[in-house]
């Protein structure tokens, strides 16, 4: 039982925080967001230099050999800085598919490019009707010689507008929500038949609606086992949720810090508003929500490594419930305690609130995961 | 960072678990599991079993019978007690007055009191709260006036838990009425047999007798029973309250309650299926389980951070434990109410063994204690500093507001 970071991990955390401290002031961030891709290629190169982009990959492929704790450290720092770059889409989601579903040749070809910053990825999965059901896929993959042909539409693909390659889920067999018959395919973002409509998201990131019209994928573009890839998707999504939890904790921590600072400086009725007990108690309730969320982000990080899918899924769901509930409370109360200034676009608080709110809608909100736990987790056998 | 127990820690847990299984009288375990009242003897018998094993005062320094366990081992021991479930060693002695005597008492006081605390030869109770001093504890008025080799004590304590069993009471008393309120308080040990000390029961809403009023009417207390220095009692009390950081969350107890809720909800039926299969019930239960898992991790963070502690300042995470722990305990009692349904209604006061009726229980045999436990458990967000006082403390000490 040990919650301490190793010296190496602490050093890594400090160097990343230093970089973000220098380069990610709120005003600088606005500038990055205005670039055509919506993020900074310059910062991306800096991340590569720091070894961040190869973080979770084995050293044999040019990665840094980091584990889930390193990913947690990075995501929390990104949450604190509210970064725009596609680390989550490329390294966590895309990297997850390569680590768990990629063959040796695919990894040897792609991982070095990710690590050096010349390849970005996006996960094209959600469809208009599927909400948070990972198996609810209509996009078709039809055998074509040694390869496949994809046909269908994907939505809300995070960083899908700028990604060099797309990781696409498609059905090789079966009906819409069947667990069997799911495949995962790697498609070039500029391939014939791919059309992308990019747009900004509420929280200042970018996403895309993407149509696939008779898109050909060679055998080198198959990840995992076509027709039996749902467990791969679940595994990668579980890891991604753990990473999102850490990002949310970083963002919540900043919202709490901003609020405490504000309570100490804002004066009304001739005194600091932080001297009012009702606001003090609210701030304590926010702290409790934050610390409970931090505990669960750590729990999710630990359980991301669990091989038993049911146990891992329950733990990840529990964490996402806590993150969703804490995030909503901390975010709403941070805005409330700031009053009018919290409502303005030019103040950074609202941007953190929006990010945390959007994290709740990614891969299942608090209610979705509570339902999942109630279905699978609360039985006497599992207790 | 490795959040799992080490193989050594798991081995320790197995050892503790095996000892409890082999040595805890089944009758005591059953009473606790069913939410029934323990007799004084149940607690005494078990603490003596633990003391023989050398585990009754695990948290004390080794020279006074402590175990020298790491904070994680201490945590595992507490957790296993709650999960079994087994009685805690009597806290008034083991975690309250004992550590104060060890830190501030005289050699004579240590020799006299510590072994008796460990073996529960002497039952202690706590004399802090007064009718006019609850959340504002420092406004206490019970007076101890020095008269030669004695203090003459006059006043009243209240909410004195299990004073009806107690042989001794440790009290905060006012020794300097002129001083600022925190500065005129002393920490005094008083034999309950002292003439002028009387105990009157307070019956709480569920019908039980846990707490009492204790009256002091010219009680003559030998001056040698003063702990440490006169008028320094507030510091000792703060030391006492600051030490017990992690036990108050009672994660193990809530886990055991949830296990029980599942067991009973599988037996009760809602329409044509077991209550445990009702979606809405399961969601409520799952929500409590999520909160409890988060609290468990928070508690482990506090425990793991203990070894880095160099001062007496509370870890920010530890502040959560009392508030969240009591809220979750209360939530489990509400779920049990939902499980029992209409048979929450019959009032069936528990009787001591010697006056036990031969009549069968009304409704399911496990139903009797459920509503009383729900009513009684409202105390957990009040005692030990109300949750509102906890928030005041956190706002000041941690948030700097």
Provide the residue ranges of all domains of chain B, joining segments of one domain with +.
Answer: 7-89, 124-232, 245-353+360-397
Cβ contacts of B3 on chain A, cutoff 8 Å: 1-3, 298-299, 301-302
B124-127 and B168-174 beta bridge pairing: parallel
For B88, the token pair is 């805690």
CA neighbours closer than 13 Å in the CB half-sphere of residue B56: 26
% of chain B beyond a pLDDT of 70: 95
User: Which amino acids of B are annotated catalytic?
Assistant: 244
pTM value > 0.90: yes
Per residue in A234-271, pLDDT (tens digit) is 999 999 999 999 999 999 999 999 999 999 999 999 99
In the predicted model, what is the mean pLDDT of residues B188-214?
97
User: For residues B21 and B144, what is the distance between their CA atoms, to the nearest angstrom?
Assistant: 47
Residue A162: the pLDDT is 97
Q: Which two tokens stand for residue A365?
A: 């909100």
One DSSP character per residue, B81-120 reads: HHHTT-PPP-HIIIIIIHHHHHHHS-HHHHHHHHHHHHTT
Q: Report whether pLDDT(B109) > 60.
A: yes
Confidence of residue A377 (pLDDT cuts 50, 70, 90): low
A3/B290 CB distance under 8 A:
no
Measured between CB atoms, does A3 come within 8 Å of chain B? yes
Q: What gap in Å lies between CA A40 and CA A34, rounded to an integer?
A: 9
List, for residues A339-354, the tens digit of each pLDDT value. 999 999 999 999 999 9
The maximal CA–CA distance of chain B, rounded, in angstroms, is 76
pLDDT reported for residue B1? 85
Chain B residues with beta carbon closer than 8 angstroms to that of A279:
401
Q: Is the pLDDT of residue A383 over 80?
A: no
Q: Compute the nearest-CA separation of B112 from chain A (Å).
A: 38
Q: Are B207 and B224 in contact (CB under 8 A)?
A: no
Show Cβ contacts of residue B237 under 8 Å, excluding neighbours closer than 6 positions: B128, B137, B172, B185, B187
| Angle formed by the axes of helices B387-397 and B318-340, nearest 10° | 160
Say what the pLDDT of residue B311 is.
65
What's residue B309's pLDDT? Answer: 73
* Mean pLDDT (whole number) for B284-293: 97
Average pLDDT, chain B: 93
Q: How far is the C-alpha of A187 from the C-alpha of A192, rounded, in Å?
A: 10
**Which CATH code of 1.10.760.10, 3.60.40.10, 2.30.40.10, 1.20.140.10 fits the domain covering B245-353+360-397?**
1.20.140.10
Determine which of A262, A295, A367 to mutate to test the interface with B (most B C-beta atoms within 10 Å): A295
- Read off the DSSP letter of residue B360: P
Q: Report domain extents, chain A.
A: 7-119, 123-227, 231-376
Under DSSP, is residue A84 helix (H, G, I), strand (E, B) or coil? Answer: coil
User: What does the pLDDT read at residue B353?
Assistant: 53
Q: How far is B146 from chain A (nearest CA, A)?
A: 40
Structure tokens at A39: 């993020």
Largest Cα separation within chain A, whole Å, is: 78
Name the least confident of A5-14, B307-316, B368-377. B307-316
CATH class of B124-232: mainly beta
Per-residue buried b or exposed e for A155-191, using 16+ beta carbons within 10 Å of the residue's own CB: bbbbbbbbbbbbbbbbbbeeeeeeeebbbbbbbebee
Confidence at B2, pLDDT banded by 50, 70, 90: confident
Whole-number mean pLDDT of chain A? 96
Mean pLDDT of all residues in A311-325: 97
Q: What is the pLDDT of residue B247?
A: 72
What is the DSSP secondary structure assignment for residue A94, as one 8-state letter? I
For the domain spanning A7-119, the CATH number is: 1.10.540.10
- Which of A3, A76, A280 has the most B C-beta neighbours within 10 Å, making it the best mutation to test the interface with B? A3
Q: What's the rounded mean pLDDT across residues B61-76?
A: 94
Q: Smallest CA–CA separation between A227 and chain B, in Å?
A: 32
- What is the arithmetic mean of pLDDT over B220-235? 97
**A382, pLDDT greater than 50:** no
User: ipTM of the assembly?
Assistant: 0.94
Contact A299 B3 (CB under 8 A): yes
Per-residue pLDDT, averaged over A183-189, amounts to 98
Region B185-205: mean pLDDT is 98
Helices of type H across B24-70: 26-33, 40-53
- What pLDDT does residue B359 have? 73
Residue B286, pLDDT score: 97
**Confidence grade of residue B164 (pLDDT, cut at 50, 70, 90):** very high
Lowest mean pLDDT among A138-142, A253-257, B106-110, B240-244: B240-244
Whether the pLDDT of residue A76 is over 50: the answer is yes
Out of A264, A281, A373, closest to residue B286 by CB: A373
Taking only the tens place, the pLDDT of each residue in B306-334 is 877 766 665 656 768 999 999 999 999 99
Is A374 in contact with B283 (Cβ distance < 8 A)? yes
| pLDDT beyond 70 at B351 | no
The model's confidence at residue A284, banded by pLDDT at 50, 70 and 90, is very high
Q: Which CATH superfamily is domain A231-376 in?
A: Butyryl-CoA Dehydrogenase, subunit A, domain 3 (1.20.140.10)
In sequence order, what are the residues at sequence separation of 6 or more whose Cβ sits closer than 8 angstroms to the Cβ of residue A156? A126, A207, A209
Between chain A and chain B, how many beta carbons pairs sit less than 8 Å apart? 138
Cβ-based neighbour number of residue B177 at 10 Å: 10
Q: Do A283 and B316 touch (CB under 8 A)?
A: no
Yes or no, beta carbons of A299 and B5 under 8 Å apart: no
Mean of pLDDT values over A346-373: 97
- Which of A197-201, B37-41, B277-281, B359-363 shows the lowest mean pLDDT across its residues? B359-363
Fold of the CATH domain A123-227:
Butyryl-CoA Dehydrogenase, subunit A; domain 2 (2.40.110)
CA-nearest residue to A276 within chain B is B401
A258 to chain B, any CB pair closer than 8 A? The answer is no
Region B106-130 average pLDDT: 98
Tell me what pLDDT residue A380 has. Answer: 38
């Amino acid at each position: 039982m040990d919650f301490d970071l190793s010296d190496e991990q602490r050093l890594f955390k400090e160097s990343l925080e230093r970089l973000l401290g220098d380069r990610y002031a709120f005003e600088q961030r606005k500038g990055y967001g205005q670039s055509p891709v919506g993020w900074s290629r310059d910062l991306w190169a800096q991340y590569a230099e720091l070894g961040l982009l190869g973080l979770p990959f084995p050293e044999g492929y040019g990665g840094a050999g980091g584990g889930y704790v390193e990913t947690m450290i990075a995501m929390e720092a990104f949450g604190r800085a509210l970064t725009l770059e596609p680390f989550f889409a490329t390294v966590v989601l895309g990297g997850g598919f390569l680590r768990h579903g990629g063959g040796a040749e695919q990894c040897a070809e792609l991982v070095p490019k990710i690590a050096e910053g010349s390849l970005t990825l996006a996960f094209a999965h959600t469809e208009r009707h599927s909400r948070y059901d990972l198996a609810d896929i209509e996009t078709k993959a039809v055998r074509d010689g040694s390869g496949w042909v994809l046909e269908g539409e994907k939505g809300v693909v995070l960083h899908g507008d700028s990604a060099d390659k797309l990781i696409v889920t498609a059905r090789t067999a079966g009906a819409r929500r069947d667990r069997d018959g799911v495949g995962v395919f790697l498609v070039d973002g500029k391939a014939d038949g791919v059309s992308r409509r990019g747009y900004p998201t509420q929280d200042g990131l970018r996403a895309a609606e993407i149509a696939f019209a008779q898109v050909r994928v060679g055998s080198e573009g198959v990840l995992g086992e076509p027709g039996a890839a749902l467990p791969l998707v679940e595994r990668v999504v579980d890891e991604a949720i753990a990473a999102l939890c850490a990002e949310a904790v970083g963002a919540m921590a900043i919202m709490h810090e901003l609020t405490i600072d504000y309570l100490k400086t804002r004066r009304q009725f001739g005194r600091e508003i932080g001297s009012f007990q009702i606001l003090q108690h609210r701030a304590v309730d926010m702290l409790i929500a934050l610390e409970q969320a931090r505990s669960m982000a750590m729990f999710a990080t630990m359980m991301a490594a669990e091989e038993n899918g049911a146990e891992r899924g329950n733990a990840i769901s529990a964490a996402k419930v806590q993150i969703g509930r804490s995030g909503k409370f901390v975010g709403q109360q941070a805005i409330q305690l700031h009053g009018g200034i919290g409502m303005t676009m030019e103040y950074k608080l609202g941007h953190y609130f929006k990010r945390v709110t959007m994290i709740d809608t990614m891969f299942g909100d608090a209610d979705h995961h509570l339902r999942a736990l109630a279905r699978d987790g609360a039985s006497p056998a599992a207790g | 960072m490795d959040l799992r127990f080490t193989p050594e820690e798991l081995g320790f847990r197995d050892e503790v678990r095996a000892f409890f299984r082999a040595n805890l009288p089944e009758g005591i375990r059953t009473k606790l599991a069913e939410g029934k009242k323990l007799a004084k003897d149940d607690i005494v018998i078990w603490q003596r079993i633990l003391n023989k094993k050398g585990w009754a005062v695990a948290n004390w320094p080794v020279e006074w019978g402590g175990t020298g366990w790491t904070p994680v081992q201490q945590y595992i021991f507490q957790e296993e007690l709650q999960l079994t479930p087994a009685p805690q060693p009597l806290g008034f002695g083991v975690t309250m007055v004992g550590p104060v005597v060890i830190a501030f008492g005289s050699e004579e006081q240590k020799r006299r009191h510590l072994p008796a605390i460990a073996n529960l030869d002497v039952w202690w109770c706590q004399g802090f709260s007064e009718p006019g001093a609850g959340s504002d504890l420092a406004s206490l008025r019970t007076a101890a006036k020095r008269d030669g080799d004695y203090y003459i004590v006059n006043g009243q304590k209240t909410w004195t838990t299990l004073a009806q069993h107690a042989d001794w009471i440790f009290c905060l008393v006012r020794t300097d009425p002129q001083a600022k309120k925190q500065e005129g308080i002393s920490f005094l040990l008083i034999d309950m047999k002292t003439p002028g000390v009387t105990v009157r029961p307070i019956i709480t809403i569920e019908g039980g007798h846990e707490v009492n009023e204790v009256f002091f009417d010219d009680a003559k207390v030998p001056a040698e029973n003063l702990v440490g220095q006169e008028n320094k009692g507030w510091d000792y009390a703060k030391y006492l309250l600051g030490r017990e950081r992690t036990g108050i969350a009672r994660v193990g107890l809530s886990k055991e309650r949830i296990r029980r809720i599942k067991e009973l909800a599988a037996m009760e039926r809602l329409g044509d299926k077991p209550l445990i299969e009702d979606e809405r019930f399961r969601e409520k239960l799952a929500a409590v389980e999520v909160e409890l898992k988060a609290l468990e991790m928070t508690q482990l963070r506090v425990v793991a951070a203990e070894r880095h502690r160099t001062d007496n300042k509370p870890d920010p995470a530890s502040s959560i434990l009392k508030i969240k722990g009591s809220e979750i305990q209360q939530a489990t009692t509400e779920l049990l109410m939902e499980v029992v349904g209409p048979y929450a209604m019959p009032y069936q006061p528990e009787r001591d063994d010697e006056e036990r009726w031969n009549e069968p229980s009304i409704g399911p045999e496990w139903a009797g204690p459920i509503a009383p436990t729900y009513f009684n458990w409202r105390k957990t967000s009040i005692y030990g500093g109300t949750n509102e006082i906890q928030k005041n403390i956190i706002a000041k000490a941690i948030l700097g507001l």
